[in-house]
Amino acid sequence: MLEVAMQTTVMTLYKKGYSKTSIAEQLSIDRKTVRRIIQRYEAGEKEIEKKPYPSQFDEYREYIEIQLGKGLTVKRIHQDLQAENQKTIGSYSGLRDYCRKLKTDEKKAYMVMNALPGEEAQVDFGYIGTLKVGGKPRKAWVFVMSLSYSRYMYVEITLDQSVKTFITCHVNGFKYFGGVPETVKVDNLKAAVTETNFYEPITQRTYAAFGEHYGFLPQPCRVFTPTDKGKIEANVKYVKDNCFSKREFKDIDEAREFLKHWLANIANIRVHGTIKKVPKELFETFEKEKLKPLPAEDFIFSRSTTAIVNYECHICYRANYYSVPHTYIGCQVDVIEVNNLLKIYFKGKEVALHVINTDMKGAHVTDKSHYPASKNITSAEIMSRYKVEMEEIGPGAVEFFTQYAESGCHAQYHRILAGIVNLRKKYPDSVVDKACGRACYYRSISYRTVKNICDGGFEALPLNEEADNEIVVEGSNVRDLNAYRALMGLGVIAND
């Protein structure tokens, strides 16, 4: 179909008096086409509407737009379409043309993003070439932090874009402003964002901890959304062009000194091109008092690492063990030490927080809520469960439980009671009950005693009072079970 420009050209020539044949020859189109354009125009149709043709990709349009918004390539989208639908959906070139059409189908409208005083700052790096450091040229960048309301700026020269440098620049910027904004909008830098996602970007763990300590919300910019970071990109360009472009510095120290002078005497006192006001005046009059106060303690950027959550729901960090919710067993988590606190993250989300143990090595720092509900029970609850099971066995077992409870021997997770209950798997309750009664009679509150009585079949032997009197331990009312067994011609039982 003819483009609108062609239709306009036809009507322009026709109005100037050219014939249909002459117009067709000049534009190398069919005379019938010229006639149809003129007829429609004279009938009131200003333009020939293009007939829309359906595309095989139309039914996947929403999916394609979302994937483009995430920053995926057309090649990747085409592969994912085939894989998810398990069939061939058009060609790569066809999808490429379709995506181009999506980008030009409609002109996007953007809102002017205005911020309130103290509400937002934007940060970014900008490459400025090389500067001499110790006589050797080094790549250099400028870190720029700009308050969105007043456009008041802080700028610093750096030699890398590492996480530590990024955070240190923030600290210096906040000190320069004398306070902290509510949010800090960052580009999708590796120092701030570990995973770029249109709907839920994952903030770098250390930067997230830093934001929590200083009380601001890190807000990554959306991909392919230039308006999210327009102010900072304009400021970075301004710094590079106005302060550094075509200037020569003998070394980095001279460059830093010049930057300090330029920032105070030119950048922050100029009439800003967009807001038509002086940034420093706006800042001091309206914005400075709206910033949050600086924290009492500095952010201690000490160390970070990764660890695997073991099957006991703990990670090992500097020779001690710290608990993590059981749902993360086997997962790799990020660990960061901040101000004597240990923060544990999984995919950018904080999942555990502990005070670092400095008293000893090999200690377990445990939050019991990190265990499954089935494991997270008290000693009293365990005793209550065993009491019920001992009552099911019989009165001899109840007496055994009573003497055990009175003895205060509740160590080792009540394994003695657990052992008695497990004897039910091998012997009838009546046998276990009589064995418990015999053990109680001789004051031998021991799992091994009860087990040996059951194994030897001694639970049915009568209790001989005359023999009992002879085997009472001298100076006590406790009967010696081993003496009793010796009297019966049996082997010695070793007590727990």
Domains in the chain: boundaries:
4-42, 58-105, 120-290, 303-370, 379-487
Specify the pLDDT at position 385.
86
Q: What is the pLDDT of residues 304-322, one digit of tens each?
A: 788 999 988 999 998 899 9
Enter the DSSP assignment of 446.
-
**Residue 224 binned pLDDT confidence (cut-offs 50, 70, 90):** very low
The band of 189, judged by pLDDT with boundaries at 50, 70 and 90, is low
For residues 478 and 458, what is the distance between their CA atoms, to the nearest angstrom? 19
Contacts of 95 by beta carbon, 8 Å cutoff, 6+ apart: 57, 64, 74, 77, 78, 81
Segment 447-482, tens digit of pLDDT: 989 998 998 888 888 776 444 443 344 444 455 556
More confident position, 89 or 398:
398
Average pLDDT over residues 116-128: 91
In order of 206, 307, 323, 344, 348, the CA distances from 354 in angstroms are: 16, 15, 8, 9, 17
Mean pLDDT in residue range 123-128: 90
Mean pLDDT of 274-297: 92
Rg (CA), the chain: 41
Where does the pLDDT of residue 428 fall: very low under 50, low under 70, confident under 90, or very high at 90 and above? very high
Residue 178 backbone zone (phi > 0: left; psi -120 to 50: alpha; other: beta): left
Give the strands of the sheet with 320-323, arranged side by side: 314-317, 320-323, 364-365
Contact residues for 239 (Cβ-Cβ < 8 A; gap 6+): 126, 142, 144, 153, 155, 267
Cα angle 31, 32, 38; round to 5: 90
pLDDT at 481: 57
pLDDT at 174: 94
pLDDT of residue 310: 92
Domain 4-42 coded CATH 3.30.70: no
Mean pLDDT for all residues in the chain: 80
Higher pLDDT, 465 or 220: 220
Q: Which is more confident, 342 or 496?
A: 342
Q: How confident is the model at residue 494 (pLDDT cuts 50, 70, 90)?
A: low
- 6, containing H or E segment: helix 4-15
Helix/strand/coil for 269? helix
Higher pLDDT, 188 or 79: 79
Confidence category of residue 391, pLDDT binned at 50, 70, 90: very high
Span 272-278, mean pLDDT?
88
Confidence (pLDDT) at 301: 64
What is residue 345's predicted lDDT score, i.e. its pLDDT?
Answer: 86
Is the pLDDT confidence value at 1 over 50?
no
Q: Which of 78-92, 138-152, 371-385 has the lowest mean pLDDT?
A: 371-385
Model pLDDT for residues 74-107, shown as the tens digit of each residue? 888 888 888 777 777 788 888 888 888 887 655 5
pLDDT at 285: 94
Instruction: Please give the CATH number for the structural domain made up of 120-290.
Output: 3.30.420.10
Percent of the chain with pLDDT over 90: 32
Residue type, 346: F
Relative orientation angle of helices 429-441 and 447-456, to the nearest 10 degrees: 120
Cα–Cα dist 262/280, whole Å:
13
Cα(369)–Cα(367) distance, integer angstroms = 5
How would you label 364-403 residue by residue, b for 16+ Cβ within 10 Å and e otherwise? ebeeeebbeeeeeeeeeeeeeebbeebeebbebbbbbbeb
How does pLDDT run across 30-71, given as a tens digit for each residue?
Answer: 888 888 888 887 776 555 555 556 788 887 887 888 788 777
Band (pLDDT 50/70/90 cuts) for residue 120 is: very high
pTM score, whole prediction? 0.45
Distance CA 84, CA 71 (A): 19
Task: Give the lowest-confidence range in 67-71, 126-130, 173-177, 202-206.
Answer: 202-206
Block residue for tokens 């190398």: 28
More confident residue, 253 or 36: 253
Measured at the CA of 310, the angle between CA 304 and CA 315, to 5 degrees, comes to 30
Nearest CA to 311 out of 375, 360, 378, 382 is that of 375
Count CA within 13 A, CB hemisphere, residue 299. 24
Q: What angle do CA 271, 275, 276 make, to 5 degrees?
A: 40
Strand runs (DSSP E) across 170-302, as ranges? 183-186, 193-195, 202-203, 217-220
Query: What is the predicted pLDDT for the residue at 339?
Result: 66
